[in-house]
Amino acid sequence: MDKLIIHGNVPLRGEVRISGAKNAALPILAASLLTPAPVIIANIPHLHDVTTIISLLGQMGTRVTLDECSNLEVDASSIHSYHAPYELVRTMRASVLVLGPLLSRFGEADVSLPGGCAIGTRPVDQHLKGMIAMGAKIEVEKGYIKARAKKRLQGATIVMDIVTVTGTENIMMAAVLAKGRTIIHNAALEPEIEDLANFLNALGAKISGMGTSTLIIDGVDELSGGNYQVLPDRIETGTYLTAATITRGKIKLKNTRPTIVDSILIKLHEAGAHIETGVDWISLDMKDNRPRAVNLSTAPYPAFPTDMQAQMMALNTVAEGTGIITETIFENRFMHVQELQRMGAQISLKGNTAICKGIDHLIGAPTMATDLRASASLVLAGLAAHGETSVDRIYHIDRGYACIEEKLSQLGARIHRVSN
């Protein structure tokens, strides 16, 4: 298993390019199942999760090819299987995103029910409720969601009980080829949902209300092919900005989108960062100062993202003052706390709240990643710590951060990967 070895206490300096968004690329690739015509998708990040969804699409009969400009051409004209096996779904929950497209285009899908994961139980009841409202028959049998639609799905008015990102995406994809109008109330507002809707509209779907909590989807008979460019990754953006803040550095991020990271920029500004933005770039300068602790509570977009909570916790460990972080989305997303404590962090947990008293510096230690964003927080802590930190089980980070050690090295970090 690979490990990252970091020699910390080096301010990050320089420029780095942000990759396409994992959480937009995954639903967009799943949505390409909705059309028999080829689609060409640009700005796909090189990530393990992307490889997983490509294998899943491949098993179903989709042809996926990489062109000379690193664009993916996806051709789902000859699908022969409507099955997403346990072996793949258990490695990536987002595989459940094939349910809506398969059911809508073929009237049939057998998708392994994703189990719980390290950060929470994460049920998919809202996905299923939406599809049942559109006329699907759904049974859970031997660990599989068996979804059938004898005739075309019917448009329906759906009120989501809770705000769910992939739930909104799955229902939106199912509705695109349904007969009539579907209205999704209490839809999630994440920019990746708007990106998916823009992709589908580029293929001829009729989706409106993007960026609001009510999405209106007028079903069409079929979708065409097309070209699309995935939006930049806002969590990768926030992670690199936090890395520069925690190391008292100065960096510029290119190929990003400042308008989708407002809540993160506001917190980093509170931490003392000097931030400038352009249409597709962000620069951040700590002017060699120690960061200040920040308080935050995670919540659905546009509030502060749960996917940045662990990284901000790392920041608070070495900040001036005491920071209070409340996690409201997932019930078990504090697994990084024990690892940060092993580096000397002073964090106490009370239910879903972490109270962190900043110390002068962390001391490098061997650590273990438990999930994707937790591993990012350990890397950030290692970059700021005195001495050597190792981060084991780094396969978690490869799921969501493209070329992380190359990008951090480019910014002057002393980091390398070793294989045990």
- With CB under 6 A, what is the number of residues at the site for ligand EPU? 24
Q: In this chain, which stretch among 117-125, 151-159, 254-262, 389-397 interacts with ligand EPU, using CB under 6 A?
A: 117-125
**CA pair distance 83, 145, nearest whole angstrom:** 10
Minimum CB distance to ligand EPU, residue 97 (Å): 7
Q: Which is nearer to ligand EPU, 4 or 28 (CB)?
A: 28
What lies within 8 Å, CB to CB, of 101 at 6+ separation is 30, 31, 33, 34, 173, 174
Radius of gyration of the chain (CA): 21
Q: Which is nearer to ligand EPU, 125 or 276 (CB)?
A: 125
Measure CA 147 to chain center.
26
Q: Site residues for ligand EPU, window 280-319 (CB under 6 A)?
A: 305-307
Minimum CB distance to ligand EPU, residue 167 (Å): 5
Pick the binder of ligand EPU from 44, 207, 241, 372 (CB under 6 A): 372
Q: Which is nearer to ligand EPU, 46 or 274 (CB)?
A: 46
Burial class (CB in 10 A: 0-12, 13-18, 19+), 87: exposed
Q: Which is nearer to ligand EPU, 252 or 399 (CB)?
A: 399
Q: Which is nearer to ligand EPU, 201 or 328 (CB)?
A: 328
Closest CA relative to residue 261, chosen from 299, 233, 286, 285: 233
Q: Which helix (H) or strand (E) holds 27?
A: helix 22-31
SS3 of residue 174 by DSSP = helix
Binding mask 376-415 for ligand EPU (x = CB under 6 A): ------------------------x---------------
**CA pair distance 234, 264, nearest whole angstrom:** 9
Task: Please report, as a single letter, which amino acid is at residue 394.
Answer: I
Closest CA relative to residue 387, chosen from 12, 3, 6, 11: 6
CB-hemisphere CA count at 13 Å for 41? 31
Pick the binder of ligand EPU from 257, 373, 396, 407 (CB under 6 A): 373
- Residues 27, 170, 373, 304, CA torsion sign: positive
Binding mask 66-105 for ligand EPU (x = CB under 6 A): ----------------------------x-----------
Q: Which is nearer to ligand EPU, 94 or 158 (CB)?
A: 94
Pick the binder of ligand EPU from 62, 166, 256, 316 (CB under 6 A): 166
* Given 69, 117, 356, 403, the catalytic residue: 117
Q: Is 117 a catalytic residue?
A: yes
Q: Site residues for ligand EPU, window 120-159 (CB under 6 A)?
A: 120-127
Bridge partners of 6, per DSSP, are: 389, 415
Q: Site residues for ligand EPU, window 12-71 (CB under 6 A)?
A: 23, 26
Minimum CB distance to ligand EPU, residue 70 (Å): 21
Burial class (CB in 10 A: 0-12, 13-18, 19+), 21: buried
Instruction: Name the site residues for ligand EPU (rule: CB under 6 A).
Output: 23, 26, 94, 120-127, 162, 164-167, 305-307, 329-330, 372-373, 400
Annotated catalytic residues are: 117
